[in-house]
Amino acid sequence: MSCCGAGAELSLLAATDPREILLASRPIAGNLRQTDLSVPDVHCGACIHTVEKVLGALKGVSSVRVNLSTRRVTIKWRADIETPPDFIGTLRSAGYEAHLFEMDNDAGDATLSELIRALAVSGFAAGNIMLFSVSVWSGAEPATRDLFHGLSALIALPTLLYAGRVFFRSAWQALRHGRTNMDVPISLGVSLAFGMSLYETAIHGPHAYFDASVSLLFFLLIGRTLDHVMRERARVAVKSLARLAARGALVQQADGSQTYLPVAEIKPGMIILLTAGERVPVDAVVTQGLSELDVSLVTGESVPQRAQPGADLRAGTLNLTGPLTITATAAARDSFLAEMLRMMEAAEQGRSSYRRIADHASALYAPVVHLTALLTLIGWMFIEGDWHHAITIAVAVLIITCPCALGLAVPMVQVVAARRLFEVGIMIKDGGALERIGEVDTIVFDKTGTLTRGNPRLVDASELDLAVLALAGTMAAHSLHPFSRALASVAQPVQPPITFDAISEIAGCGMEARMEGSVIRLGRPEWSLDCLADADIDVSSVVLSRDGLRLADFLFEDSLRAGAAECVAELKRDGFAIEIVSGDREAPVRKLAGALGVSAFAGMLPGAKAEHVADLARGGKKVLMVGDGLNDTPALMAAHASMAPASAADVGRNAADLVFLRDSLSAVPLAIAVAREAQKLVRQNLALAVGYNFIAVPIAILGHVTPLVAAIAMSGSSIVVVANALRLRGRRLPAKASDTGTVFPSPHRVVGNGL
C-alpha cells in the first residue's frame, strides 16, 4: 500500500491548516482523537526515535507510533484541546516532510523503482571501473594508470551523485537538523573512499579506490533493495486486504437521483444501490432485495451467505447474485475492513520490550559508530603515521558497524507474524500483544458466544401451540436478545396481526406488554409468574405469562463453537490452566465445564470477571482472556493478553489484542504457537545482530577489513536477519472448521433484558 496517493501534494499544503487535521482525524476511546500521517523519509530506528520524540513533546499528544513499512505515523491526541497541534510543521522542522495518510491501492512503489534504478547504475559503473582496475593491477605504465584512474573518476562521480542519493539525501536531512541516522556513517564511508581516490589521482599516486567506493555503493544498495522487497513481501497480506476496498458506490439522493460517490464521501444513512459483482463499500444494512454474499473475508467460510432485508453487511464482502439496496451504517474509515487494515498495520507499530531495546540501541548507535571510527583513525595515525591507511580502516569501521540488522531484528518478525496470523484469519491490534500472548500460562474463556455459538435454538418448537408461539414471537420481535431472536425466527405471523396497547423491555427481566387490560410478560420465571413454587416450571426456562399465570415456557439449546473441544484439549496437553468464567447459571456452566474437563465459575457479573482475572494476575499468572460480549470487556482489558471473535460486540473487539475472523476456536492455540515462535526468532535475531557487531567491529578496528568487504558484511547481516524472520511458520489451522459443532443443551438464565 502506497503512502502517497494522487493529490498528495495538495494534501501536503492543505494539511498545515489545523482545520484540515481536525477533519482528517477520528475520535477514539478515552476522549482522544487519532491522526494518521505519511512520512516518506522515515527508514530506520533513529528516524523512528526522532519522529516519536518530537511529536510526543507536543502539547496534548498522548502517544505516537511509527510504522516503518508503510512510513505511517499514528498520533493520538486529546480531543478537548481547541486547536490540533502542528504535527506537519513540527516534522518539517525536524527534517521530515509529511502529509495526511491516504490509501491508494493503485499507486506504484516509487521507492522500489528508485532503488532498482540506483542499483542498475551502480552495478554497471562498478563493472566498468573494475575493468580499468584490472588493467592497473596487471602492471600498467604510470601514464596509462593515471589515464585509467581519471576515467574511473569520471564514471564514479556521476554514479555516486545519482545512485548514492538514496543514502546522501537521508544523511543530509539528518545532519542539517542536528541529528544522525544509519545513513550518515554509510555516506561518510562512501564519500571518504571516493575523496581518497580522487586525491591519489590528483597527485599521480599508485593506488586509487574508485572501484571500491562504487562497488561499496553497489553492495549497500543490494542490501537496501532486498530489505525493501522482503518488507513488501511480508506486508503483501495488508496490500491484498486493501485491494478489497471498493472505490466508490452508486448513492441514491433524497430527490431520487443517483450519483456515484467516492467511498470516502459516503456517510452513515446514505442509500446505496449495490449490483451483483460489486463489493460492499462500507458497513451497511440491507433495506431491499435478495442476494447471496461471499463473506469469506469476515468468517473464513466459503459457502455464500443469504442477504435479505435487515441483514448486516460488512465492508469488503462481495455481492454475488442479485441487486441490493443498502443503507450505510458507518463511514469508510470506521468500517470493518478499515478496522482490519488498522489492526494489521498496528501489528508492526507495537512496542514490545524487545523492540524498545532495539530502538533505543539503534538511536544511540550512530554517535557510537562515529566515535569508534574517529578513535580508530587517531589510533592508527599514532601507531603508523600513515593517514591514508588510517582513513581506510576508519571507513571500514564506519560501514561495518551500521546498525541496520539491529534495527530490523524485531519489526521484521512482527510483520511476518502478523501476515502469518492474517492468513489464517487472526488480526493483531498491537505488535506488543505478540510478546504478551507468548507469555501466557492461564486461559480464561467466556461461555456464551465464545465456547458456544451464542445463537440459541428453540427446542421442540413444533410441539408448541401456534397462537401462543405467535404471541411470544410478536413480543420477542421488539428485542435484540438472542433468545428473542430465536423466538421471533420460528413464530409464524397470524391474521389479524397481534397489536399491543404498550410494550416495554425491562432490563434484567424480559418483555412486558399490555393488551386488552391484561399484563403479558415474557422472560424470567421468577419475574413472569406470581407463584413460582406451584408452577412446576424449570427455573432456567423463559416463560410467557398473562396476569401472572403461565401460558407457556420455552427451552433453548446452544451448540459448541466449532473447534472448541479440540482447542481446549490441545491447550490442556500443552500445559495451560483452563477456566470458564460466565454470567450464566450454575447448571449449564457446570455441564459444559464437565464435558470439557475444566474448572468453571458461574453467575459472574462483568466486574466479578475482571476481578477474577486480576486475582489470577496477583497470584503470578499471566492470563489470556477469550470473550465476546459487552460484559467481557472489563476482563479483556484486565488480562495480560486478550482475544475476541469477529462476531463480538464493537467494544469487545476494541478491547481485545487479537480478533479471530473464522468460527473455529483453533485460532487460540494457533495464535499462541505463532507468538512463541516469533519470540524465539526475535531472540535469535537480536543475538545475530549483537554477535555480528562483537565479531566484526574488532576485526575492522584491527585493520583486517577493507571498505568493500565491510559493505558486503553489513548488507549480509541485514539480509540474514530478515531471512531468519521469514522462517516463521507456526502450526496449521484445520482446512475447514465444522459448521455444526456439538449441540449443548443450555436453557440459559436470562442475562441483560431477561430473554
pLDDT tens-digit profile of 585-603? Answer: 677 788 888 888 888 888 7
**Other CB atoms closer than 10 Å to residue 147's CB: what's the count?**
15
Within 13 A of 222's CA, how many CA atoms are on the CB side?
18
| Matching fold, domains 8-100 and 425-454+560-674+738-745 | no
CA angle 549–555–558, rounded 5-degree value? 155
What's CA 583's distance to the chain center, in Å? 31
Within 13 A of 138's CA, how many CA atoms are on the CB side?
8
Per-residue pLDDT, averaged over 135-160, amounts to: 82
What's CA 147's distance to the chain center, in Å? 57
Per-residue pLDDT, averaged over 241-249, amounts to: 67
Model pTM score: 0.57
Question: Which CATH number describes the domain made up of 460-554?
Answer: 3.40.1110.10
- pLDDT of amino acid 649: 60
Is the pLDDT higher at 68 or at 124? Answer: 124
Q: Round to whole Å and give the CA distance between 305 and 292.
A: 5
Is the pLDDT higher at 447 or at 482? Answer: 447
Confidence class for position 230, pLDDT limits 50, 70, 90? low
- pLDDT of amino acid 631: 64
- pLDDT of amino acid 327: 92
Per-residue pLDDT, averaged over 387-402, amounts to: 78
Per-residue pLDDT, averaged over 244-249, amounts to: 72
- pLDDT of amino acid 750: 32
Confidence class for position 297, pLDDT limits 50, 70, 90? low
- pLDDT of amino acid 362: 52
Q: Round to whole Å and give the CA distance between 76 and 261.
A: 29
CA angle 612–614–620, rounded 5-degree value? 110
Residue 623 has pLDDT above 80, yes or no: yes
Confidence class for position 245, pLDDT limits 50, 70, 90? low
Per-residue pLDDT, averaged over 101-117, amounts to: 66
Q: Which long-range contacts (CB under 8 A, 24 or more apart) does 607-611 make?
A: 607/634, 609/446, 609/581, 609/583, 609/634, 609/635, 610/634, 610/635, 610/637, 610/638
- pLDDT of amino acid 69: 62
Question: Which CATH number describes the domain made up of 248-334?
Answer: 2.70.150.10
What's CA 481's distance to the chain center, in Å? 32
- pLDDT of amino acid 15: 41
Residue in 146, 183, 446, 632 annotated catalytic: 446
Confidence class for position 442, pLDDT limits 50, 70, 90? very high
- Phi and psi angles of residue 126, each rounded to the nearest 5 degrees, phi first: -60, -40
Taking the domains of the chain in order of start, what are their residue ranges? Answer: 8-100, 110-214, 248-334, 425-454+560-674+738-745, 460-554
Confidence class for position 519, pLDDT limits 50, 70, 90? very high
Per-residue pLDDT, averaged over 447-468, amounts to: 79
Residue 352 has pLDDT above 50, yes or no: no
Confidence class for position 235, pLDDT limits 50, 70, 90? low
- pLDDT of amino acid 718: 72
- pLDDT of amino acid 11: 39
- Phi and psi angles of residue 731, each rounded to the nearest 5 degrees, phi first: -85, 160
Confidence class for position 241, pLDDT limits 50, 70, 90? low
Q: Scanning the structure block, which residue is given the C-alpha cell 592497473?
A: 136
Confidence class for position 443, pLDDT limits 50, 70, 90? very high
Burial class of 648 by CB neighbour count within 10 A (0 to 12, 13 to 18, 19+): buried
Candidate from 333-342, 499-508, 612-621 with smallest mean pLDDT:
333-342
- pLDDT of amino acid 10: 36
- Whether 446 sits among the annotated catalytic residues: the reply is yes
Q: Round to whole Å and give the CA distance between 704 and 685.
A: 26
Confidence class for position 431, pLDDT limits 50, 70, 90? low
Residue 520 has pLDDT above 90, yes or no: yes
Q: Homologous superfamily of 425-454+560-674+738-745 in CATH?
A: HAD superfamily/HAD-like (3.40.50.1000)
Strands (E), 147-299: 248-252, 258-262, 271-274, 284-288, 291-294
Residue 4 has pLDDT above 70, yes or no: no
Question: What SS3 class is residue 363?
Answer: helix
Is the pLDDT higher at 30 or at 752? Answer: 30
- pLDDT of amino acid 44: 67
188-207, pLDDT tens digit by residue?
777 877 887 787 788 887 76
Per-residue pLDDT, averaged over 407-434, amounts to: 74
Question: What SS3 class is residue 325?
Answer: strand
Confidence class for position 17, pLDDT limits 50, 70, 90? low
Name residues whose C-beta falls within 8 Å of residue 451's C-beta, 6 or more positions apart in sequence: 445, 560, 561, 564, 568, 580, 592, 596, 665
301-331, pLDDT tens digit by residue?
445 777 888 888 888 788 887 888 999 988 8
Residue 745 has pLDDT above 50, yes or no: no
What does the mean pLDDT of the chain come to? Answer: 76
Per-residue pLDDT, averaged over 125-154, amounts to: 80
Per-residue pLDDT, averaged over 236-244, amounts to: 55
Residue 350 has pLDDT above 60, yes or no: no
Per-residue pLDDT, averaged over 646-673, amounts to: 78
R_g of the chain, CA atoms, integer Å: 32
Confidence class for position 366, pLDDT limits 50, 70, 90? low
Within 13 A of 146's CA, how many CA atoms are on the CB side?
7
- pLDDT of amino acid 679: 84
Per-residue pLDDT, averaged over 12-25, amounts to: 60
- pLDDT of amino acid 45: 66
Residues of the chain with pLDDT > 70, as a percent, come to: 75
Write out the CATH class of domain 8-100. Answer: alpha beta
